[in-house]
């Protein structure tokens, strides 16, 4: 192996390692995300608390249910634009809670709309544990 081949080899190995890291950082299952929130929040998730959190308003105009529906197993409608929103419960939409970057982006945005702050890890764990109880 000459030096150029060796350098090429080293670069492609490094690129492979980087893309593998990026993939594991983004790709996830709902169960893995739930485990992460529960560990970070240091609580056992409560589906009951999650349901209450999801359906009540918390000082602002909207609740989570305003856009996603009280039981988010069906298509919801955005409270201000009227745009349809695919079901949030993973059993009814297999794309949900599989991309951690997307999940975090929307938690940040939606929690801010509903609570005027980000959601705690405990609140995320509660909501997701409730969503996972929703089955066809
Ligand atoms: C004003 C309307 C609105 C409200 C209120 C709202 N959402 Fe959403 N939510 C959306 C839209 C729009 C998307 C992105 C479009 C899509 O993914 O279908 C989304 C996506 C999400 C996602 C991304 C899930 C994934 O993996 O695709 C999560 C998680 C979420 N919302 C949780 C919540 C929670 C929790 C609340 C209450 C704190 C809430 N939302 C309130 C409109 C809303």
pLDDT tens-digit series, residues 88-121: 999 999 999 999 999 999 999 999 999 999 999 9
**DSSP secondary structure of 61-127:** S--THHHH-SSTTS-EE-TTT--EE---SGGG-TTTTSBHHHHHHHHHHHHHHHHSSPPPHHHHHHH
- Domain residues for the domain of 87 are 28-133
Q: Is residue 12 part of a domain?
A: no
Most ligand 1 atoms within 8 A of CB, residue of 68, 78, 93, 108 to mutate: 68
Q: What's the confidence (pLDDT) of residue 132?
A: 98
1 within some domain: no
CA distance 90 to 72: 10
Ligand 1, atom 22, lies closest to the CA of 106
88 within domain boundaries = yes
Q: Does residue 37 lie within any of the structural domains?
A: yes
Q: Is 66 a member of any domain?
A: yes
pLDDT in tens, 39-57: 999 989 999 999 999 999 9
100 in any annotated domain: yes
Question: What residues have CB less than 8 Å from 53, skipping those under 6 apart?
Answer: 64, 123, 126, 127
CA of 106 to the centre of ligand 1 (A): 6
pTM for this predicted structure = 0.85
Measured CA to CA, the distance from residue 102 to residue 64 in angstroms comes to 17
- The CATH number of whichever domain residue 56 belongs to comes to 1.10.760.10
128 C-alpha to center of ligand 1: Å? Answer: 12
Q: Is the dihedral of CA 27, 67, 128, 43 positive or negative?
A: positive
CA 88 to ligand 1 centroid distance, Å: 8
Cβ of 34 less than 6 Å from ligand 1: no
Predicted confidence at residue 7, as pLDDT, reads 59
Ligand 1 and 79: CB distance under 6 A: yes
Tell me if 4 is assigned to some domain: no
Distance 39 CA to ligand 1 centre (A): 23
**Residue 27: predicted pLDDT:** 85
pLDDT band for 9, please (50, 70, 90 cuts): low
pLDDT digits (tens, 9 = 90+) for 62-79: 999 999 999 999 999 999
6 within a domain of the structure (yes/no): no
Number of domains present in the structure of the chain: 1
Q: Tokens at residue 98, please?
A: 């599989």
What is the band of 11 on the pLDDT scale with cuts at 50, 70, 90? Answer: low
């Amino acid at each position: 192996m000459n030096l150029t081949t060796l350098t090429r080899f080293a670069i492609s190995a490094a690129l492979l390692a980087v893309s593998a890291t990026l993939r594991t950082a983004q790709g996830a299952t709902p169960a893995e995300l739930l485990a992460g929130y529960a560990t970070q929040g240091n609580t056992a998730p409560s589906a009951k608390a999650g349901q209450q959190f999801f359906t009540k308003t918390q000082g602002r105009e909207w609740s989570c249910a305003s856009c996603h529906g009280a039981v988010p197993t069906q298509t919801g409608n955005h409270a201000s634009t009227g745009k349809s929103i695919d079901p949030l419960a993973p059993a009814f939409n297999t794309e949900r809670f599989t991309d951690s970057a997307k999940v975090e982006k929307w938690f940040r945005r939606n929690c801010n709309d509903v609570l005027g702050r980000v959601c705690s890890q405990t609140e995320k764990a509660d909501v997701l544990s409730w969503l996972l109880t929703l089955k066809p």
